[in-house]
Amino acid sequence: MFIRWRYLVAAAIAAPLLGLVLAWSGLVGIGAASGHWPITDWFLHWSMRSSTRTAALGISVPPLDNPQMLPMAAGHFEQGCAMCHGSPAAPRSAVVFGMLPVPPDLKPRVPIWSDAELFQIVQHGVRFTGMPAWPSQQREDEVWAMVAFLRKLPGMTASEYRQLAGLAAPLRPGMSAALDCNACHAENRLTGESLIPSLAGQSEAYLRASLMAYLKGERQSGIMQTAVNGLNANDVAGLAARFTGERQRAGAPAPVNPRGADVAAGQALARSGRPEDRIPACLSCHEREDGNPLYPRLFGQSAPYLAGQLRLFRDGERGGTRFHHLMVRAADNLTDADIDNLAAYFAAGRDADR
């Protein structure tokens, strides 16, 4: 028995040393052209499935039936995912077939994963593949939007995809299809339920500062950080200038009132704040003709977008211009009802003050 244990100990010491010697020798090929041994391929995929299944345990899945989640996710998919995975409008690039592993066509793959597992994969990526993590780990709302999009992907037509991703939108002068803000932000693509903001009516200073905040990672958004990746300060200034002076579309669909929010209560809070809870009046900074140009205009934005941004501020997950810390403090004591009321009031536009 003593001899057997001695052999086991020797083997335990020798095995990693032999592995190191083998790796050092250069005999282990790392070329993608040769592919994996079948056992290696099986083991890696089995490990990935098992890891994803375990990591997804306990993830609470929110409602994914909001159709407004799809455009923002589709635009990101077109820019950041379609090159490897293909899309309903175009096949995978020929280049990816030289990768190991080859990025899969997602249509047959999506149905085998649960919503929680898809969230885990999109949020954290997959090691030893080309699948990256979501660019901003703080924005779970964006990841869930992508999960909602992926759930629809297997049955999506090319026409539906092009419409959702903004590929059918006319290009703005001087812009390419690879970088066209209109694909998501065009006024005729926005409704009272949109999760994408309207840029019309914002100052050039605010748009420039916001884009720079995304570029520097000071404002968290995997979608926008990908959209502005590779831009420089001159590009940002040009984009901001192009959108300055635009007007929100007349005759836009009626604003949505989230969960029957109280517009009058939102108006009172916007005008007077609530001093006992250290909540300042929104209109003391926003919507002032002589106000700071780095403060955004709020009237006419959709209620779902405004409510989402206020919750990000309240939860400490929203950056922005150099004044964003003021909003973090202002939103700290807002209740869910306060947020819905304020969002409904500002979405109603200036008519709510008449």
Instruction: Enumerate residues 6+ apart whose C-beta is below 8 A from 133.
Output: 123, 124, 125
CATH number at residue 112: 1.10.760
- The end-to-end CA distance of the chain, in Å, is 93
Closest residue by Cα to residue 297 from 243, 257, 340, 254: 243
| 38 cis-preceded (ω within 30 degrees of 0) | no
Does residue 252 contact residue 349 with C-beta atoms inside 8 Å?
A: no
**CA 311 vs CA 42, 44, 67, 337: distances in Å:** 43, 39, 20, 11
Q: Which residues of the chain are under the pLDDT cut of 50?
A: 1, 174-178
Closest residue by Cα to residue 143 from 99, 89, 85, 81: 81
pLDDT on residue 352: 59
| Torsion, Cα of 99, 105, 111, 116 (10° steps) | 50
- Residue 13 placed within a domain: no
Domain containing residue 304: 258-353
Which domain-ending residue is among 168, 191, 214?
Answer: 168
pLDDT on residue 176: 47
Closest residue by Cα to residue 118 from 163, 164, 73: 73
Query: pLDDT tens-digit profile of 3-34?
Result: 577 777 778 888 888 888 888 888 777 888 88
Interatomic CA distance for residues 32 and 13, integer angstroms? 31
- Residue 15 placed within a domain: no
pLDDT on residue 35: 84
- Residue 96 placed within a domain: yes
| Torsion, Cα of 320, 324, 330, 332 (10° steps) | 60
CATH number at residue 349: 1.10.760.10
Total tally of structural domains belonging to the chain: 2
The whole-model pTM stands at 0.88
Which domain-ending residue is among 151, 168, 185?
Answer: 168
- Residue 252 placed within a domain: no
Q: For residue 74, which phi and psi values (nearest 5 degrees)?
A: -65, -40
Closest residue by Cα to residue 184 from 202, 167, 201, 161: 167
Which domain-ending residue is among 168, 198, 227?
Answer: 168
